[in-house]
Structure 1
Amino acid sequence: MKFETIFFDLDGTLYRNETGLWQAIKNRIDHFLHDKMGFKWEDIPKLRQTYYKKYGTTLKGLQIHYAIDPDEYLKYTHDLPLEQYLKKDPELHTLLKTLPQEKWVFTNSDSSHVNRVLRIVGIEDCFSGIIDINATDFYCKPDPIAFQKAFEIAHVKDLSTCVFIDDLIGNIIEAQKMGIFSIFVCGEIHQENGALHQIRHIHELKSIPVLWD
């Protein structure tokens, strides 16, 4: 078997962005910045973009500059009725079960949110474990330290035996730099985004037969 371990991102990867959930989470982040921290609405987009580019997530930037409680932030931003956005996906369950590799969820979110999503989508029995933001000591993708911690948790010795699947191009580019076979879940295929392998949504994994070799 060419590949032994697959790392899956969660939000926007194991469910489609069209569900509206990821946008709802982003809206909750904006409200946290405004309602809890007092930022002006007009300043929030630039702040979040700055933190994303520099630290990988808004949370990491807030921890560094404002020493916020990450548990409070995560609880607030994920306080959503997930059942209104997600539903069981038996097709995805079947697809994941056919993959012969060990599978991990590797996310900048927290395990509580991950477990809720996996349960509702009906794929909680498809993974060996969850590598969340607590497991990586709040280092976030695309920080190489976050990747290294994930490899240690999953007992990966040879990066050429890994697959990484994510919906954010910055994370994909970083993984490609490490020599990891990476698949960009991009919604729309674009030839000039730097991703070597692209699918529109997770169900198109079957279009990459090397995963079953």
Structure 2
Amino acid sequence: MVLSTEIDIRDYDTKVDGGLPLEKLLTPNPELRAMIESMQVGRKWLFTNAGENHARRVIRVLGLEGLFHGMTYCNYLEPQFVCKPDRKSFTKAMREAGVEDQDPSLCFFADDSAPNVDMAAKMGWTAVHVMDKFKDPSTAGQYQIESLVDLQTVLPQFWR
């Protein structure tokens, strides 16, 4: 008998992420899609703590396919994978997005996790906390909004 500690990612996807009924939990978001489509920025990049297959499923179910130049995700097969809010994950995202050697203030970040938003701000990014209006007020990042579609109100320079 041979025992292996390696994870078969297909098995993981099927039993864990792939087992989630996303189609019952999420619905397409045309308003979000229109907002992202109308952004006047150089690159739109996704940065998630999800695995690649799960992230792609969420994008598909929300109707956001084709809007992004790429994605930084967690590769659970890497022995020492990094995820937000670890500083190394932000450095990885900059490298993968092709902005590693540029001014970090050129990076804009929106997230619903205050620790993630705070790390983005520490990295020199413009950071926006997407927060639940029913929770305590947030001081994370430079801006706080209740929904991603509200991004236009705090970063109007990206819309005409």
TM-score by length of 1: 0.62
2:7 corresponds to which of 60, 65, 69: 69
Query: Which runs of structure 2 are paired with 1:1-213 in the superposition (5 Å)?
Result: 69=7, 71=9, 75-78=14-17, 79-101=19-41, 102-134=43-75, 137=78, 138-156=81-99, 157-188=102-133, 190-208=136-154, 209-212=156-159
Residue 91 of structure 1 deviates from its aligned partner by: 1.0
Looking at secondary structure, tell me which structure has more helix per residue.
1
> Within 2, Cα distance between the matches of 1:142 and 1:70?
26
Partner deviation per Cα, 1:13-58 (whole Å, 9 max, x = no partner)? xxxxxxxxxxxxxxxxxxxxxxxxxxxxxxxxxxxxxxxxxxxxxx
Alpha carbons of structure 1 residues 192 and 168: separation in structure 2 relative to 1, 3 Å: closer
Which stretch has the larger CA shift, 68-77 or 118-127? 68-77
* 1:182 partner SS: strand
Large movers: runs of 4+ above 4 Å: 72-75, 189-192
- The aligned length equals 147
* 1:172 partner SS: helix
* 1:105 partner SS: strand
* 1:125 partner SS: coil
What code does the residue aligned with 2:56 have?
Answer: N
> Within 2, Cα distance between the matches of 1:90 and 1:186?
21
Alpha carbons of structure 1 residues 118 and 194: separation in structure 2 relative to 1, 3 Å: closer
Of all paired residues, the percent bearing the same amino acid is: 34
Residue 196 of structure 1 deviates from its aligned partner by: 2.2
What code does the residue aligned with 1:130 have?
Answer: M
What code does the residue aligned with 1:186 have?
Answer: M
* 1:194 partner SS: coil
* 2:44 partner SS: strand
Alpha carbons of structure 1 residues 161 and 191: separation in structure 2 relative to 1, 3 Å: same
Q: CA RMSD in A?
A: 2.4
The match for 1:7 is none
* 1:113 partner SS: helix
- The structure, 1 or 2, with the larger RCO (C-alpha pairs under 8 Å, 6+ apart) is 1
Alpha carbons of structure 1 residues 70 and 185: separation in structure 2 relative to 1, 3 Å: farther
